[in-house]
Chains A and B, each alone.
Chain A
């Protein structure tokens, strides 16, 4: 039986400061992250002791230097939020890691809360910048000049499932799911075939099938084996192949379908062989064809379109689910089927649901009315500005306001998630500890939180079970513990 898919996303945002010829991304990121004010002390460490990004899921340890910043740098670069998220500086980008959630709809809510938090921070940061300059943020994955940054998805998986099996069934799925997950891009980069418009922001950057890297020679399947949970029981599948999405419908469908396919892999429910002859080539072939008609080559000699290949997964999922699953699973199956049907008939029918289609429809309409071609700088601007986080300038938000983007959640729900953690995972415990005992929190990681209980003692509480620490588990304990010292005492009884 597949384990519950606890999950979250980590989005790296594009950042620039207009009007600053000496723009330095790292100091801008530090300014941005520190402009967000909510935690009472502002001095909570990220607990790097618990991290091991160099462990490989195929069972070995890779040589390399693990990054551990000094204490001051650590505090300046990391903010753990009372909603259970982490907002921090990753290399030269601001990154928002959502708290752990248990379903696709909550993931939409918390990923969207991240957009609000970054936009609020941007406004605060701007107040500190010299006149005539302005910080801007983009939820995208490419500068269209060969530089890419990630939107990663994480899913808790059962360690008993052989990783080889995960790779085999996921490769064809990941190569083709972009037809309903892509965020769209004008042109190509990274030495790929020229094109006017392509489905995915990221496809041009994948150069190998399976590997540990995330920044060079990016693999379709990343093997980082850092579960942030009990490593005897779990692995954390770190998905780096996706685009940063703005459409709520796209985020919901992307997440829900991926969860289903992962559960099917754990339950051995993928019985058809859909292996591709050349996944690295195929991911680009699919991305470069917005008609979704191009066939890609399977290992067994068959040629299928991405839509047909996804339909194979859908059929297996329909059999797998039967009549037994939850309302959300049924909804996901229904939407998946609907979207594939539209994609087969005419992808442009999805101009309110799927990011790349929404963007393309908008660009097509603009080009037609302004008599512009794909090389026009305004067209390239539209591509970038679709992802702008400013509510009055970001083209996605304009579509949303005009009622031209189908929504899955409400603004009220998103606002709640800016300040409150999900209630059904350990993110609840993390967020509530920060809210209640913030000044006593010394350090945080996904699977631990430590408190300075007195001047000499630091107590670390481990959270190896992502579903423990939920409101149902710990609310009473927290209510009984007026201070961090009391909490530690109550926990050790």
Chain B
């Protein structure tokens, strides 16, 4: 299997402008928190530095998830059991 492993790049939308009507304000909000992904795409530094970065990154991800779970906990529907039970749809297509 030949799957290139280069990091994911954010490209700008380099299509022919005629394909893309009315969108010039596009680029700035495109990526908010693009981070290099776990487990790859090293930045060329040596191993110990890399390991340290990885640990820091792990910590950061954990904090991010803590904050997210807290926010979700606040907005999650109350009476989840009843809510989910009552969500019944007629079959569609």
**B37: contacting residue among A106, A342, A381, CB under 8 A:** A342
Is B44 interfacial (CB-CB < 8 Å)?
no
Q: How many A-B residue pairs have CB under 8 A?
A: 187
Is A422 interfacial (CB-CB < 8 Å)?
yes
Is A365 interfacial (CB-CB < 8 Å)?
yes
- In the assembled complex, the CB of B13 is this many whole angstroms from the nearest CB of chain A, namely 6
Enumerate chain B residues within 8 angstroms of A411, measured Cβ to Cβ.
29
Enumerate chain B residues within 8 angstroms of A406, measured Cβ to Cβ.
31, 34
Range class of the B interface residue count:
35 or more
Enumerate chain B residues within 8 angstroms of A18, measured Cβ to Cβ.
83, 86
| Contact in complex: B93, A214 (CB < 8 Å) | yes
Enumerate chain B residues within 8 angstroms of A461, measured Cβ to Cβ.
none
Query: Once the chains are docked, how many angstroms separate the CA of A25 from the CA of B89?
Result: 8
| Contact in complex: A12, B92 (CB < 8 Å) | yes
Is B45 interfacial (CB-CB < 8 Å)?
no
| Contact in complex: B2, A315 (CB < 8 Å) | yes
Stretch from A85-93, A155-163, A175-183, A292-300 that touches the partner: A85-93
Interface string of A385-418 (1 = CB under 8 A from B): 1000000110100110011101111111100100
| Contact in complex: A91, B66 (CB < 8 Å) | no
Is A43 interfacial (CB-CB < 8 Å)?
no
| Contact in complex: A337, B4 (CB < 8 Å) | yes
> Given A341-B5, A384-B87, A420-B22, A91–B92 Cβ distance below 8 Å?
yes
> Given A103-B15, A393-B75, A150–B29 Cβ distance below 8 Å?
no
- State which residues 1-57 of B face A: CB under 8 Å: 1-9, 11, 13-16, 18-23, 25-26, 28-34, 37-40
- In the assembled complex, the CB of B87 is this many whole angstroms from the nearest CB of chain A, namely 5
Taking chain B's interface residues, is the majority helix, strand, or loop, or is none over half, making it mixed?
loop
| Contact in complex: A215, B13 (CB < 8 Å) | no
Query: Once the chains are docked, how many angstroms separate the CA of A308 from the CA of B29?
Result: 34
| Contact in complex: B72, A152 (CB < 8 Å) | no
Is B59 interfacial (CB-CB < 8 Å)?
no
| Contact in complex: A147, B68 (CB < 8 Å) | no
> Given A315-B2, A365-B65, A407–B89 Cβ distance below 8 Å?
no
Enumerate chain A residues within 8 angstroms of B75, measured Cβ to Cβ.
385, 392-393, 395, 398
Is A16 interfacial (CB-CB < 8 Å)?
yes
Is A145 interfacial (CB-CB < 8 Å)?
yes
| Contact in complex: A103, B19 (CB < 8 Å) | yes
* Chain B residue with Cβ nearest A340: B3
| Contact in complex: A412, B26 (CB < 8 Å) | yes
- In the assembled complex, the CB of A18 is this many whole angstroms from the nearest CB of chain B, namely 8
Query: Once the chains are docked, how many angstroms separate the CA of A315 from the CA of B14?
Result: 24
> Given A331-B11, A392-B75, A381–B69 Cβ distance below 8 Å?
no
| Contact in complex: A16, B84 (CB < 8 Å) | no
Enumerate chain A residues within 8 angstroms of B86, measured Cβ to Cβ.
16, 18
| Contact in complex: B91, A147 (CB < 8 Å) | yes
**B15: contacting residue among A327, A393, A420, CB under 8 A:** A327
Enumerate chain B residues within 8 angstroms of A344, measured Cβ to Cβ.
1, 3
For A92, A93, A214, A410, which residue has the most chain B Cβ atoms within 10 angstroms?
A: A410
Can you list 30 A-B contacts with CB-CB less than 8 angstroms, sorted by A residue number?
Answer: A25-B89, A91-B90, A92-B92, A93-B92, A106-B19, A143-B87, A143-B89, A147-B88, A147-B89, A148-B92, A149-B89, A150-B92, A215-B91, A311-B2, A326-B16, A327-B15, A331-B11, A340-B3, A342-B37, A344-B1, A344-B3, A346-B38, A349-B38, A349-B40, A395-B72, A407-B29, A410-B23, A410-B29, A412-B23, A412-B25
Q: A311-B2, A381-B83, A471-B21 are in contact. List 9 more A-B contacts (CB 8 A).
A: A14-B89, A144-B87, A315-B2, A338-B4, A344-B3, A349-B40, A377-B84, A380-B80, A404-B64
Interface residues of B (CB under 8 A from A): 1-9, 11, 13-16, 18-23, 25-26, 28-34, 37-40, 64-69, 71-73, 75-77, 80-81, 83-84, 86-93
